Structure 1
Amino acid sequence: MTATAVKFDGFTDEERDAMKARARELKASARRVSRADKAAEEEAAVVAKIAEMRESDRVMAERIHAVIKENVPELAPKLWYGMPAYARDGKVVCFFQSAQKFNARYATFGFSDKADLDDGAMWPASYALKGLTAEGEARIAALVRQAVN
């Protein structure tokens, strides 16, 4: 096999974009001074990122943002790899990944390892979202409350 016939199976364009977004987030975070300014800037960045999403994802992300702010106000909105996320003490607990982020067929609401969702030896850490009903919003609120307890 020649060198030109070898295909590189590295990062996709979407994965590289996510890494670049994370680098920009870290640089921006290092420049911020006051805690209040930082929180306001991070929430504004999350709201702006949500506004960029296509309509189906944007509607879900807006509702999730509101549900988290209403039910678990101690979580701070912030961008995480270019995705809306919610953190406690600077550590991401949960996040919303739009379907377009990695060209998926559905959006995802997920939890990091900082979330206290442990249930035996195995439990779900992310959920596929094709839409968001009142029942889904209630389930997200309950899961996020559990995640921070």
Structure 2
Amino acid sequence: MTEASPQGFSEAERAAMRQRAEELRSSKGLKGAAKRAKEYEACIAAIEALEGVDLAVASRLHVIVGEEAPHLEPKTWYGFPSYARDGSVVVFYQPASKFGTRYGSVGFNEDARLDDGPMWATAFAVVDMTDEVETRLRDLVRRAAG
């Protein structure tokens, strides 16, 4: 894990914030199909830039979302491959390589429809893309996408 600066954010965190600002700038003025196409290309580029387990998980998650929730639109969010409904990110993959962590994680934002009583998980560590992991991710994505 990277060490925080005196300002409180690590260099990796600051880089992610700069990346998010660039994502917003790059789609400024674009609408409709042109914006979706640009965001799709950015998502694919983010996935293709990964290696190892990160690449395997992000690639498979991309297929899973396409099959289980085709109405979610691929994009990037802080440089993460992400999938949104009406512009709001529902599910994303945070690669281990992004912040030098032990594992990547599949995360769900508040627009995900995973509510389960008074408490539920919103992120899942993934250390290997197995058939069991794929089955679980398919169920989570299907439920999250509503």
TM-score of the superposed pair, with normalisation by structure 1: 0.91
Greater radius of gyration (CA)? 1
Contact 2:84 2:91 in 1 (8 A): yes
Q: Which one of 45, 57, 70 corresponds to residue 48 of structure 1?
A: 45
The secondary structure found in structure 1 opposite 2:27 is helix
The secondary structure found in structure 2 opposite 1:56 is helix
CA distance in 2, matches of 1:105, 1:92: 24
Number of residue pairs aligned between Structure 1 and Structure 2: 142
- Tell me which amino acid in the other structure corresponds to 1:31: G
The answer to whether 1:93 aligns with 2:93 is no
Shift of 1:90: 0.3
Tell me whether 39-48 or 106-115 shows the greater mean CA deviation: 39-48
Corresponding position of 2:111: 114
Query: 1:14-73 CA deviation, whole Å, 9 max, x = no partner?
Result: 10011001100111121324x112111111111111111122211111011011111110
Tell me whether 15-24 or 36-45 shows the greater mean CA deviation: 36-45
Corresponding position of 1:126: 123
CA-based RMSD of the aligned residues comes to 1.2
Structure 1: runs of 5 or more not aligned = 1-6
Q: Which one of 78, 102, 108 corresponds to residue 81 of structure 1?
A: 78
Structure 2: runs of 5 or more not aligned = none
The answer to whether 1:104 aligns with 2:101 is yes
Tell me whether 131-140 or 111-120 shows the greater mean CA deviation: 131-140
Deviation above 3 Å: which 4+ runs of structure 1? none
The secondary structure found in structure 2 opposite 1:22 is helix
Corresponding position of 1:3: none
- Tell me which amino acid in the other structure corresponds to 2:26: A
